[in-house]
């Protein structure tokens, strides 16, 4: 039974009013479960669990997968719960590429590098294109049609449960090969794309940010989190920061070759300036602002590990990622009245439409917005 079928089953059959807990692998980060409609006492008890989270798209709850939380759920539900298996994706089989396939991959990679795509994009496109070639290992890739490409996508979606973001990467990689490497007309390969999610950015409160960025005891680790949040940087951008990009006298950070190969400037926090000076004196980086033990750039995985440890130690939203700091930067600036155009420029968005999404996540309460009822009554709170 897959998740959609389980939802259909669950919302039709309420005879025993039991909670449904999805089978949880030992290494899974979260325990997911459904609560029957009207189970207010259960819902109230679940909310008291520190890591409890409601997933509106899936219509279910989840908590961190710990022994303590397992026992708490058992205490809450008593004997009134069932455990259900969920349909799992099958592993994509390993297939070796022939000479023609290897040549096609090399041609794709060469074109991507010549067009100055980021190493991250080259890696993703290469991996996705190799999987596509393996699916059609006995075919001449240059003769495949739009129908063949959609057949491959359908297989990966239905049988291997790839995400919508993965679908888009695959489509972009395939289109790049046919349009840029084989020089085919663009209109011939307008592949049907998945519906784009309209979810809002994940944002932490000011109090959560303070807890999170001050959590690391290591000076470098703390400064990395301070830098990401204070300037609204992407993970790749903080990794690519050079010492010379920090303009202490002028009060800005220069971001070189950011997403879309665009340079930009963003704000340099006064607090960050105070922390950078002792950091430089202690660590003596040679070129990159944040260097690894070998003197090269700090790695993505290392920063992600720093962030995960901070999330775990502070108990803030467990779904937060380093990119959440960038979302929070933009939202907090809006809350403080910063002009949207300035925020757009600091984030490096080409369109104001991209930046405007942060207006939807502002805190709406009687401290930030005055109700028209308060206005016509002439005072607030009556």
Whether residue 125 lies in the annotated active site: no
Whole-angstrom distance, CA of residue 243 vs CA of residue 247: 9
Annotation marks residue 284 as catalytic:
no
* Options 234, 264, 327, 332, the catalytic residue: 234
State the Cα–Cα distance between residues 255 and 258, nearest whole angstrom.
Answer: 6
53-55 sheet: strands from edge to edge: 53-55, 60-64, 30-34, 19-22, 81-84
Query: How far apart (Å, rounded) are the C-alpha atoms in residues 30 and 61?
Result: 10
The token pair at 321 is 């990622």
Residues sharing a CB contact under 8 Å with residue 183, sequence separation 6 or more, in sequence order: none
Residue 279 falls in the annotated catalytic set: no
3-state helix/strand/coil string of the chain: CCHHHHHHHHHHCCCCCCEEEECCCCCCCEEEEECCCCCHHHHHHHHCCCCCEEECCCCEEEEECCHHHHHHHHHHHCCCEEEECCCCCCCCCCCCCCHHHHHHHHHHHHHHHHCCCCHHHHHHHHHHHHHHHHHCCCCCHHHCCHHHHHHHHHHHHHHHCCCHHHHHHHHHHHHHHHHHHCCCCHHHHCCCCCCCCCCCCCCCCHHHHHHHHCCCCCHHHHHHHHHHHHHCCCHHHHHCCEHHHEECCCCEEEEEEECCCEEEEEECCHHHHHHHHHHHHHHCCCCECCECCCCCECCHHHHHHHHHHHHHHHCCCCCCCHHHHHHHHHHHHHHCCCCHHHHHHHHCCCCHHHHHHHHHCCCCCCCCCCCHHHHHHCCCCC
126: annotated active-site residue: no
Separation CA 308–CA 243 (nearest Å): 26
> Is 259 tagged catalytic?
yes
Active site residue 308: no
Task: In whole angstroms, give the CA distance from residue 21 to residue 65.
Answer: 12
Q: Which of 18, 264, 327, 349 is catalytic?
A: 349
Which entry of 221, 326, 327, 332 is annotated as an active-site residue?
A: 326
Catalytic choice (166, 175, 259, 275) = 259
| Active-site annotation, residues | 234, 259, 323, 326, 349, 358
């Amino acid at each position: 039974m897959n998740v959609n079928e389980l939802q259909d089953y669950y919302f039709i059959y309420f005879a025993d009013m039991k909670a449904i807990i999805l089978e949880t692998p030992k290494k899974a980060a979260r325990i997911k479960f459904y609560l029957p409609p009207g189970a207010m006492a259960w819902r109230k008890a679940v909310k008291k669990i520190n890591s409890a989270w409601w997933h509106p798209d899936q219509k279910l709850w989840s908590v961190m997968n710990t022994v303590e939380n397992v026992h708490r759920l058992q205490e809450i539900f008593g004997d009134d719960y069932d455990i259900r298996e969920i349909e799992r994706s099958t592993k994509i089989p390993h297939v070796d590429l022939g000479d023609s396939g290897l040549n096609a991959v090399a041609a794709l990679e060469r074109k991507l590098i010549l067009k100055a795509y980021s190493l991250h994009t080259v890696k993703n496109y290469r991996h996705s294109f190799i999987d596509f070639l393996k699916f059609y290992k006995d075919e001449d890739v240059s003769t495949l049609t739009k129908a063949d490409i959609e057949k491959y996508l359908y297989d990966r979606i239905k049988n291997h449960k790839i995400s919508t973001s993965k679908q888009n990467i695959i489509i972009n990689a395939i289109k790049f090969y046919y349009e840029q490497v084989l020089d085919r007309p663009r209109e011939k390969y307008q592949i049907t794309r998945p519906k784009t999610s309209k979810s809002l950015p994940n944002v932490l409160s000011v109090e959560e940010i303070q807890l999170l960025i001050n959590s690391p005891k290591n000076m470098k680790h703390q400064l990395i989190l301070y830098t990401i949040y204070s300037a609204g940087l992407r993970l790749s951008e903080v990794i690519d920061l050079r010492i010379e990009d920090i303009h202490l006298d002028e009060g800005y950070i220069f971001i070189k070759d950011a997403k879309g190969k665009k340079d930009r400037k963003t704000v340099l926090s006064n607090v960050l300036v105070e922390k950078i000076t002792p950091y430089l004196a202690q660590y003596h980086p040679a070129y990159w602002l944040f260097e690894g033990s070998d003197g090269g750039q700090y790695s993505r995985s290392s920063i992600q590990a720093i962030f995960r440890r901070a999330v775990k130690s502070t108990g803030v939203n467990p779904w937060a990622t380093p990119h959440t700091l960038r979302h929070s930067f933009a939202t907090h600036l809006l809350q403080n009245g910063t002009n949207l155009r300035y925020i757009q420029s600091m984030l490096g968005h080409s369109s104001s439409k991209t930046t405007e999404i942060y207006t939807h996540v502002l805190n709406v309460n009687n401290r930030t917005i005055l109700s028209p009822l308060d206005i016509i009554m002439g005072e607030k709170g009556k």
